[in-house]
């Protein structure tokens, strides 16, 4: 397949670590505006898949097309600039800086820093910070030190830092781990808001949460796709119950 409407087209992707295929000829398509959840047992290759897409790990074979443009082989910062944002499991925020500063420093740097342009740029940054802080529900904490936020708020701040880059595809690895029930609810709402004009890939274990947010679910097992479809469909798939949900 050469030209597609998919935001992301992963085809025959393979990576081996010392002969062990962590991802094995995996093919996956994500639509524009889709919120895809990836589930599967530990060691299935979920995190490795995100590592490959964001350029942290290099594939041994296959292709990763983002908006029809080949991403595999590009350096990580080029992939970010192309429009793919990725959140890791542990938040990497600047604890000593305010929420405002954390967001401000995440704004992609412009090409010119001269005179009137720089001023205009400051304005653009401030208005983008305002939009993002409202989207992540931290408008009331704009001047708070990031280190004093709750665990959930820190996770939202990091999502906000990614949103500052205006990614078209956002990938999140177990975003609700360690969150309270209320924080989980708010995160589900946040991800649904984000999916209104972006695509999302979310790795998650909490089935209630998955049910609530997923447009479609992909089940991975041993570096391959075991099942894919609606939550209802995969939940009732005997192979999925056997390797994952039954435990």
Give contact residues for ligand ADP (rule: CB under 6 A).
17, 22, 40, 42-48
Given Mg ion, ligand ADP, none, residue 119, with its beta carbon under 5 to 8 Å by kind, binds none
Choose from Mg ion, ligand ADP, none: what does 147 bind? Cβ within 5-8 Å by kind.
Answer: none
Between strands 84-87 and 169-173, the pairing is parallel
Report what 102 binds from Mg ion, ligand ADP, none; CB cut-off 5-8 Å by kind.
none
Closest CB to Mg ion: residue number: 47
In the complex, minimum distance from the CB of residue 27 to ligand ADP, in angstroms, rounded to a whole number:
17
CA of 86: how far to CAs of 27, 92, 126, 202, in Å?
20, 12, 23, 10
* Integer angstrom CA distances of residue 113 from 101, 116, 119: 19, 9, 9
Polymer length of the chain: 247
Backbone dihedral angles phi then psi of residue 6, each to the nearest 5 degrees: -70, 145
Can you read off the two tokens belonging to residue 138? 């931290």
CB of 92 to ligand ADP, least distance (A): 18
State how beta strands 84-87 and 61-66 pair: unpaired
CA atoms within 13 A on the CB side of 5: 4
By C-beta, is 107 or 209 nearer to ligand ADP? 209
- CB nearer to Mg ion: pick between 79 and 220: 220
| Nearest of 201, 212, 93 to residue 144 by alpha carbon | 93
**Within 31-90, which residues bind Mg ion (CB under 5 A)?**
46-47
44 binds, among Mg ion, ligand ADP, none (CB under 5 to 8 A by kind): ligand ADP
Nearer to Mg ion, 179 or 186 (CB): 179
Residue count at the site for Mg ion (CB under 5 A)?
Answer: 2
Of residues 118 and 177, the one with the C-beta less far from Mg ion: 177
Nearest residue to 83 via CA among 159, 7, 192: 7
Q: Between 28 and 125, whose beta carbon lies closer to ligand ADP?
A: 28
Give the C-alpha separation, 56 to 179, whole Å.
27
Q: Give min distance, CB of 40 to ligand ADP, in A.
A: 6
| Residue number, 55 or 83, with CB nearest to Mg ion | 55
Pairing of the two strands 216-221 and 8-17: unpaired
91 contact choice in Mg ion, ligand ADP, none (CB below 5 to 8 Å, kind-dependent):
none
Contact partner at residue 45 from Mg ion, ligand ADP, none, CB < 5 to 8 Å by partner kind: ligand ADP
Task: Using CB under 5 A, list all residues that contact Mg ion.
Answer: 46-47
């Amino acid at each position: 397949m050469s030209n597609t409407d998919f935001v992301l087209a992963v085809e025959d992707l393979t990576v081996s670590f010392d002969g062990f295929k962590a991802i094995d000829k995996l093919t996956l398509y994500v639509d524009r505006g889709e919120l895809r959840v990836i589930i599967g047992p530990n060691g299935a290759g979920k995190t490795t898949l995100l590592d490959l897409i964001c350029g942290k790990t290099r594939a041994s074979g296959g292709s990763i097309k983002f908006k029809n443009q080949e991403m595999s082989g590009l350096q990580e910062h080029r992939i970010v600039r192309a429009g793919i944002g990725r959140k890791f499991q542990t938040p990497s925020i600047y604890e000593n800086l305010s929420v405002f500063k954390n967001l401000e420093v995440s704004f992609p740097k412009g090409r010119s820093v001269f005179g009137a342009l720089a001023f205009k740029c400051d304005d653009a940054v401030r208005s983008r910070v305002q939009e993002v802080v409202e989207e992540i529900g931290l408008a009331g904490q704009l001047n708070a030190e990031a280190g004093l936020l709750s665990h959930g708020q820190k996770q939202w701040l990091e999502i906000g830092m990614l949103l500052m880059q205006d990614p078209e595809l956002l990938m999140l690895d177990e975003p609700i781990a360690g969150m309270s029930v209320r924080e989980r609810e708010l995160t589900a709402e946040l991800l649904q808001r984000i999916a209104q004009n972006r695509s999302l890939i979310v790795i998650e274990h909490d089935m209630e949460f998955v049910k609530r947010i997923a447009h479609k679910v992909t089940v991975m097992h041993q570096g391959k796709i075991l099942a894919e479809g609606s939550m209802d469909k995969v939940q009732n798939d005997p192979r999925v119950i056997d390797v994952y949900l039954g435990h």
